[in-house]
Amino acid sequence: MPEAPELLEQVIEQPITITGNKPQKVNLLGMDLPHLKAFFTEIGEKPFRAVQILKWIHQFGVDNFDDMSNVSQALRQRLSDIAEIRAPQVVLEQKASDGTTKWLMRLDGGNSIETVFIPEDNRGTLCVSSQVGCALDCSFCSTARQGFNRNLSSAEIIAQLWTANKMLNERIPKTEASPNKNSQNETRRAITNVVLMGMGEPLLNFDNVVQAVHLMVDDNAYGLSKRRVTISTVGVIPALKRLREECDVSLALSLHAPNDAIREKIVPLNKKYPIKELLDACRYYFSGDTKKKQFTIEYVMLAGINDSTRNAHELARLLRKLPCKINLIPFNPFPESDYVSSRMQVIKQFRDILQKAGYVTMIRKTRGEDIDAACGQLAGKVKDKSRRVNSDKS
């Protein structure tokens, strides 16, 4: 594979397909079961068709109605006329030596998003984006530097899982048992977990995120358990309350600080939703049946900002009685970032204090160090280069 910089140039030069004047077809890719049933009812077909089509799209990765062999010829033709199954185009892939793979996908209109696959011994995690850029301006975040562009549609969110599944499936060696075709079970084993931890704040794109998550947990689609689908948020309190009612999957709270004074500096949304109210909302989210979903506190380790032993003790006191585990994340620097990561010795000391206080505490392994691993870094690079190309022309 060529070096990333060469590929980036290719991305810039690729023509963008604009579907402009053609009549718009309905994209079925992002529809969960209720929406798909409503679609079939609206066109005068039986709602049970929704389950059939859902399986074809998400379990078998089909994007052509002609391949749906248990659907009548007449309906296939009708669907081809009015509907489509369309995912964003993968325009760049970076693969790190540890197997971490990052895809850059181009959306209609020319924006780009990132999706990352992180393979581990016993699982494979796909990190999915929910917005183009982000408005929340966390000071340690590469995506924040791009500002906010737009929300992703439910199709653009689930397309990241759909596409990654297909691409990974193509790479699974064909077995003697199935020499011509990899089985669906093999496909689904490659991605065992999904985290909405890519570009954007998922709870600020609530309806589209929830529809995509419904597909992730639907047995007719990807069939992931609630423990294996995680929404990561900096804490949009009203949306958290709604989420509990509509789609109570696992939650990762990007806390990053043990008190409001520090958090306000690095997560501006904290001014609106301070820590105490936020943790109360999390308690509500996890009240009742907690076994089906997990609660993780994310804490990025920034040297001299939030990493003292005093901060660790403060964090331990703050989280008392919350049923959570804690992930300490070594800061992944990006060009022009204002911070440096805490030294590993400091991070271990921080972890030990939390563990002694009774918390399951992990230090996240840094993955994909030889590619643009910080979230938003690759899309940011492409955007920056696009800008430069445009201004050179003017």
| Positions that interact with ligand SF4 (CB under 6 A) | 134, 136-138, 141, 143-144, 199-201, 234, 254
Cβ contact 251:285 at 8 Å? yes
Q: 73: part of which helix (H) or strand (E)? A: helix 73-82
As beta bridge partners, residue 95 has 101
Active-site residue, 84 included: no
CB of 126: closest distance to ligand SF4 in angstroms?
Answer: 17
Torsion, Cα of 71, 72, 74, 75 (10° steps):
-30
Give CA–CA dist 148/201, Å, rounded: 10
279 SS3 class: helix
Residue 22: exposed, middle, or buried by beta-carbon count in 10 A (0-12, 13-18, 19+)? exposed
DSSP 8-class letter at 55: I
Using the minimum distance from each CB to ligand SF4, give the nearer residue, 216 or 234: 234
Task: State the nearest-atom distance from the C-beta of 247 to ligand SF4, in Å.
Answer: 19
Residue 264 burial by Cβ neighbours in a 10 Å radius (0-12, 13-18, 19+): middle
Q: Which is nearer to ligand SF4, 199 or 379 (CB)?
A: 199
Compute CA 134 distance to the chain's CA centroid, rounded to the nearest angstrom: 13
Q: For residues 116 and 332, is the Cβ–Cβ distance under 8 A?
A: no
The single residue of 42, 45, 114, 336 carrying the catalytic annotation is 114
Among 68, 72, 85, residue whose Cα is nearest residue 30: 85
| Residue 113 vs 164, nearer CB to ligand SF4 | 113
Nearer to ligand SF4, 156 or 201 (CB): 201
Provide the minimum distance between the beta carbon of 337 and ligand SF4 in the complex, in angstroms, as a whole number.
Answer: 12
Q: How far is the CB of 144 from ligand SF4 (least distance, A)?
A: 4
Reduced to 3 states, what is the DSSP secondary structure of residue 174? coil
- The b/e string for 306-325 (b: 16+ C-beta within 10 A; e otherwise) is bbeeebbbbbbebbeeeebe
Could you tell me the smallest distance in angstroms from the CB atom of residue 149 to ligand SF4? 12
Dist. CA 135–CA 143, nearest whole Å: 9
Shortest Å, Cβ 165 to ligand SF4: 24
- 131/361 with CB nearer ligand SF4: 131
Our CB check for ligand SF4 shows the closer of 28 and 199 to be: 199
Q: Which residues are catalytic?
A: 114, 375
